[in-house]
Amino acid sequence: MDLGKVVLRRKPDIPVIRPRASDKTQHMQEVSAKLDLSKVIRLLEDPLTANLKERHLFVLKKLLKRSQNGFLLKELVGIAKILNICAEKVKDHPEYVPILCEALQISSLPFLKEKPSDELNYAQDVIEFLSHMGCLMRVSDAEVRQQIVESVKSFYSCVAPKQLLDGLRPTSPGYRLQLLEHSDLAQTLLLSMATLESQSSIKLQLLKTLQILSSSSDLNCALILDARGAETICLHMNEPDPSGQILFHASEILWNLLERGSKDKVAAQLCSMECVVSLKEAFFHLLMNCSQHSDLQLRNDLLVITTLIADNPNSLLIESLFAKQLMAFVTFPELKNHNSVVRNFKLSYNNEDLKMKKLLLNLLVLMSKDFAAVQLFREEQVMLAVLTLVKPPSVSLQRQSGSRHWSSVQQEELQLQALATLTTIAPLMLDEYMSCQGNACLLLLLDWCVGQDTFFGEGHSFHGTGGRGSKKAQMRHCIRVLRSVTSLGEESVNQDLCDQGTINQLLGILMQMEESPDEDDIVTLEIKSDIQLILSALCETDMHRKELFGSEGVEMAVHFLRKGSDKFYSGLGHNKLILSTVDCVWSCIVGCYTTEDYFLAKQGAFLLLDSLASSPRCVHGVVLATLLELCDNPNTVSHILSWRDEGGQTAPKLLLQLWREEEEDLGVNRDKYGVITDPQRPILSQYQQEDTQLLLAANVPSATVLEISENLRSKIYSIFCKLGFQDLPGLSTKDYVTLSIIKRYLDFKVCEVWEEISRELRLANVRPVSPDEEALSTICKISEDTARKVIAEQNSILEQQEKEDISEEELMYTEMKSHWKQRELTAKSWDTYVSKTSNYEILKEVRAEREKYIESSRTRSKHPDAALHPEEHFIGQVMSIESTDAQGPAGVKLTLARAPIKTVGQDKVEPTTEDPEYFSTVSAKD
């Protein structure tokens, strides 16, 4: 070795050993072991170490540094306890505030799980942790409260998880939000608003958080409402706010509670005087000071919330003077108002102002349920303002010429909204309606609706449905108002309409609509049925008006009756039209002989019977009642008896069928032939039998009395009383069995009432005096005897029918026997003929017999006077066929009759050359 050289030995490369995943987990577990939460909690709570603030902060910072990527689900219980301890120490030691803020910031990150099952196993711990987060709002430090609000808001944002150690995974995105709904966090945050009087910025952030909570979950809304959230938010909406955002977010929270929570709870909480006053202040502040579009929208939102309160019967809108101030804006700008609030208010006539005006009109409808509100309407001349809006657009625009006004589209929407409002409030304010000439205004509008001037309805609003491009929507609502007014039966109103020619005007409109080539839709059918109802209300009690209805009205009713009931279940409204047509016949035609006779001449009775036969059961009662009233006319009975349907069914048979169907539906006891099975209860329904043990009050109608008006039997019986019970056409035995019950219906019903009286006396433990008790017993016995007589009569009818059936059956069998006998004889004759042609021996015998017969006939014909008589030819005719006991052709004996035929110009007739087989009486032998 060369000692002069320094040999440097190179150390072998030492490989870099990086910690493996398992090592990281092990390292984390070692750190966790060093920072055991139980030891940390003991350090914070132990009286010996409770004052070691520096050590506390050191350990807590170390704990938070370890959990900077999120808290473990299994540690949430310990973390929550540590946070509560720190919150208590903050009061005296502000140094803990950064610890709380950092922990709350980490809480905004997704929780971490080691196993997939941790989400389910630690769900309750998460719920309690979230509830504890809300409780930290008790800390008065603004920074802590701000961090709580920010952390809760971050729950609804997508936070990308940081790089995690192997073995740890973040919880699913919706896991924490789902468990938040089961915690008390939303309620706690709401209740903490009372502690934020001096921290307006935090209150605004808290409102934003509550807005997020209420907009994302129905359960959160329910929790907020359980804590009287609607009332709390409403009372805080008018607090001083430099940013001007508190009112906006408060109204948004109320909207969320209305949409996702219980409207009844929201309305109940907002009906207090304090809340109504708060809403009033907020609304009028926006009304007088709003300039931006968002402020106008917020104003209308508050008006919608006010509308919700008005729908509650316990609202205090009138007591708070909120309603009175709103009425000034309801009548603006249609009427001049000297109110200082209105004097300084200017409409922009934009869409938001249009919405406000429509909301105010809708508010009238909701407030009209209160009598005090109606009185307020009278004082503020609401009726005059609404009728001003109802006028045709041309009139309204002329009045506003030279000034800013609503556009034609806006005017149309307001007109329709005013008509809808008038439908509700006009019947409640008839005096004001008449003093403002409401009838004339509506009839003027009706004339405009049927006019030929060009008008294209936009139909954008809800009330404009079905009227786009026409005046149909205006006509629809105008007719609705007239219907609501006339249905009250107020004579002064109806007489005023008739004096202005309403009957003829409505008939003309109705027939004009019928002549239109357009197909019927829902709106058109509603207009037609409403017009008929108006006519019925006008003519029902006045004979002169029925005469004004006259032949034109009869033609209209007949026209609609001819349509039939094929489209009854179409869903468009044909069912209402059919019912209103029958009602129109009842109210406008029946009772006046001139219109009745014209109606009968137009086959009106036939059409009613056609409707009875083809219409559903719900129409039968009205049709039968109309027929019954029409039967007072002596000409009606003959029309009813002469009616036949397409199958030849008569009217009495149809009525009897309806009776049987009615009894089957009522559960009346009958056998398969329709015979009474219980003489003690001949017509009692199942429903009456169920009420036999009930003792009703004296002012309550009994089941027996109600039964008369609730089913068809009394009407059918009354019609038969008009038609008679004898010589009815087209009845079968089953019909006569049913008719025998109908004939005694009144007797049974009277006895049923007395039986009910007797039963009620027994239930009340009242014993009648002896004569009355004997009379009741006799009446019940008479009823049973009558029922037994009817049963005997029914059995007699059935027996007679059975005898007739047997007689017809015997006759039928006789005809059948004769027919088969004839077939047998024909067969035997054919066999005989065949045997003669196929068997030579039989043919020889027949020929011999025939020649023998001919010879015998010639011998008998020689007589002393034979020379004086010319020979005659005879044509045989079969007189009878007899069968003997012999077999084959010999068993058939034919008897023939002969008629002589003399040929003209011939003195002597040669013997016939025809086959004598067909002209002689022979016996076929084997």
pLDDT at residue number 33:
41
pLDDT at residue number 884:
60
Tell me the pLDDT band of 69, cut-offs 50, 70 and 90: confident
The helix/strand/coil state of 595 is helix
Is a pLDDT exceeding 70 seen at residue 459?
no
- Give the Cα separation of 420 and 418 in Å (integer): 5
- Give the Cα separation of 200 and 177 in Å (integer): 27
Q: Of 674, 744, 678, 665, which Cα lies nearest the Cα of 707?
A: 665
Tell me the pLDDT band of 403, cut-offs 50, 70 and 90: low
pLDDT at residue number 70:
87
Residue with token string 């009845």: 731
Number of helices and strands (H, E) in the chain? 44, 4
Residue with token string 């008065």: 140
pLDDT at residue number 888:
52
776 within 8 A of 758, measured Cβ to Cβ: yes
Q: Which amino acid is at 48?
A: L
- Give the Cα separation of 606 and 612 in Å (integer): 10
Query: Could you report the per-residue pLDDT of 773-824, keeping only the tens digit for each?
Result: 888 888 888 888 999 999 999 999 999 988 888 888 889 999 898 999 999 9
- Give the Cα separation of 737 and 458 in Å (integer): 64
Based on its alpha-carbon atoms, the radius of gyration of the chain, rounded to whole angstroms, reads 51
Is a pLDDT exceeding 60 seen at residue 20?
no
First to last CA, the chain: 163
Q: Are strands 892-901 and 169-170 parallel, antiparallel or unpaired?
A: unpaired
- Give the Cα separation of 531 and 552 in Å (integer): 14
Q: Tokens in use for 780?
A: 């019940």
787 within 8 A of 816, measured Cβ to Cβ: no
3-state secondary structure 790-824: HHHHHHHHHHHHHHHHHHHHHHHHHHHHHHHHHHH
Contacts by residues 514-521 (CB-CB < 8 Å, ≥ 24 positions apart): 514/559, 520/572, 520/574, 521/466, 521/572
In 10 A of CB 871, how many CB atoms? 15
Beta partners for residue 873, in sequence order: 901
The helix/strand/coil state of 341 is helix
- Give the Cα separation of 49 and 44 in Å (integer): 7
Beta partners for residue 426, in sequence order: none
Is a pLDDT exceeding 80 seen at residue 626?
yes
Is a pLDDT exceeding 60 seen at residue 664?
yes
Higher pLDDT, 884 or 400: 884
* pLDDT above 90 coverage of the chain, percent: 50
> Which DSSP category does 75 fall into?
G
Is a pLDDT exceeding 90 seen at residue 39?
no
Distances (CA, A) of 671 to 685, 743, 783, 790, 903: 15, 19, 20, 14, 75
Q: Of 148, 157, 159, which Cα lies nearest the Cα of 185?
A: 148
What single string gives the DSSP state of each residue in 121-188?
HTHHHHHHHHHHHHHGGGS--HHHHHHHHHHHHHTTS-PPP----TT-EEPPTTHHHHHHTTSSHHHH
752 within 8 A of 684, measured Cβ to Cβ: yes
In 10 A of CB 649, how many CB atoms? 15
Is a pLDDT exceeding 60 seen at residue 49?
yes
Q: Of 685, 690, 660, which Cα lies nearest the Cα of 672?
A: 660
114 within 8 A of 167, measured Cβ to Cβ: yes
Mean pLDDT, the chain, integer: 84
In 10 A of CB 817, how many CB atoms? 10
In 10 A of CB 791, how many CB atoms? 18
- Give the Cα separation of 251 and 248 in Å (integer): 5
pLDDT at residue number 886:
55
Residue with token string 């909204």: 417
Tell me the pLDDT band of 460, cut-offs 50, 70 and 90: low
Is a pLDDT exceeding 90 seen at residue 56?
no
Is a pLDDT exceeding 50 seen at residue 913?
no
Tell me the pLDDT band of 697, cut-offs 50, 70 and 90: low
Query: Could you report the per-residue pLDDT of 581-603, keeping only the tens digit for each?
Result: 999 999 999 999 999 999 999 99
- Give the Cα separation of 781 and 762 in Å (integer): 18
Distances (CA, A) of 201 to 155, 206, 243: 21, 9, 9
Q: Are strands 873-883 and 892-901 parallel, antiparallel or unpaired?
A: antiparallel
- Identify the sign of the CA torsion 520, 521, 524, 527: positive
- Give the Cα separation of 76 and 57 in Å (integer): 19
Query: Could you report the per-residue pLDDT of 820-837, keeping only the tens digit for each?
Result: 999 999 998 888 888 877
119 within 8 A of 111, measured Cβ to Cβ: no
φ/ψ of residue 900, rounded to 5: -75, 145
pLDDT at residue number 12:
41
Residue with token string 């008589």: 869
pLDDT at residue number 891:
57
Q: Which amino acid is at 103?
A: A
- Describe the crossing of helices 770-838 and 733-743 by its angle, rounded to 10 degrees: 170
